[in-house]
Structure 1
């Protein structure tokens, strides 16, 4: 799906970046080529500010990848009709917006506070109060053990290779596992991909999102979906969150362990620490 999305979005991406204001992030003016957008607000975003948008909830902002997600013609037309310049002219009309807007190197909590004020409170619209919500202090967000108390783990499950075949009852390789991936947080929250039928080298390119309370590893499990019996485990592994650059997507290869198990899963993980 990733290659198909890139092919479909190629011309759209170029046209979108040519729209007024879209050469930089709508919220921090980062000059890095934008790779994300809010599909319902009509703005393009950097890798850090998209984490703040995810924290708003989809009732306010619906982020999509410009490179990995396939965009419908309707969604493309909407994005091309908006753009950062048009949207910011409305949502940053207040004189306080310019002084409050973070630059690309600002701390993530400062960007989160600005995004919440801009899109949730509408603080910088004409007639808004112009007040930025208080940014979460580092001392509030990190315990003495260095744990982050609020954040979002965005896991794009890309593909798997050489998975165990749990369905080869004949020994001829005619039937193969029907795998899916489940991501589980330390508190037991979980999200899972769709099932891909009869494939030991599946490609999901599917984004999962979990609210997490600290930087303990996420558990990745691969299962074989069965209709008539219980699903079969195909292995598991950990996704380590510590050491990730804030807001930066990082690819990891998770080697599957367990009995039985074989193969690996490739994921792209982004951790965005948010204020409580």
Structure 2
């Protein structure tokens, strides 16, 4: 069964705000008015965590993971949750679920009769995803920028 080497980049986020449990209430819980955001990505049964970027609502992570995928290990979704790190726990900032079949549509991929791109191809476009809430009582704000692409076979997988 052929194996594909695939890279996911969690590039940056913007306009993050803490989701309060009250309708229409968005606020920043840190006394400084900022958050200490980080993202947790789940692919299949693996979890990957970006570094925490302190005192910002617009973090630049530039974090990548490399995966080996084949038909038996191809995830249906990529799930990413953004959190605000606090001294005693964390606050939820939002999440996204991305169907794996939609990853290359922006590059003239399969849905448009084109080819999926190499991760470092200058024509490979970053994609912004709006954060979603997990309950009706929450409000979330912000977007996360991701990049997806194939990499050379000799790249070491983060799964090994």
* Aligned 1:1-276 pairs, distance under 5 A: 140-141=1-2, 150-165=3-18, 167-168=28-29, 174-185=32-43, 187-212=44-69, 213-228=73-88, 230-242=89-101, 244=104, 245-249=115-119, 250-258=125-133, 259-271=138-150
- Separation (CA, whole Å) in 1 of partners of 2:42 and 2:85: 17
How far apart, in 2, do the equivalents of 1:208 and 1:162 lie? 24
Q: Indicate the structure with greater strand content.
A: 2
Deviation at 1:175, TM superposition (A): 3.1
Superposition deviation, residue 272 in structure 1? 5.5
User: Relative to total residues, which structure has the larger helix share, 1 or 2?
Assistant: 1
Structure 1 length normalisation: TM-score?
Answer: 0.39
* CA deviation profile, 1:222-255 (whole Å, cap 9, x unmatched): 0111122x21111000234325244523421111
Which 5+ residue runs of structure 1 have no aligned equivalent?
1-139, 142-149
Cα distance in structure 1, aligned partners of 2:46 and 2:86? 23
CA–CA separation in structure 1 for the residues paired with 2:126 and 2:142: 17
CA distance in 2, matches of 1:253, 1:198: 22
CA distance in 2, matches of 1:210, 1:232: 28
Q: Greater CA radius of gyration, 1 or 2?
A: 1
Unaligned 5+ segments in structure 2 are: 19-26, 105-114, 120-124, 154-160
Name the SS for the 1:200 alignment partner: coil
TM-score (normalizing by structure 2)? 0.64
- Alignment coverage as a number of residue pairs: 122
User: CA deviation digits over 1:48-99, x for unaligned, max 9?
Assistant: xxxxxxxxxxxxxxxxxxxxxxxxxxxxxxxxxxxxxxxxxxxxxxxxxxxx
Q: CA RMSD in A?
A: 2.6
Q: How far is 1:163 from its partner?
A: 0.5
C-alpha change, 1:215 and 1:168, in structure 2 (3 Å) is closer
Note the alpha carbon deviations across 1:90-137, whole angstroms, 9 max, x for none.
Answer: xxxxxxxxxxxxxxxxxxxxxxxxxxxxxxxxxxxxxxxxxxxxxxxx
Kindly tell me: are residues 176 and 198 of structure 1, through their superposed partners in 2, closer, same or farther at Cα, counting changes over 3 Å?
same
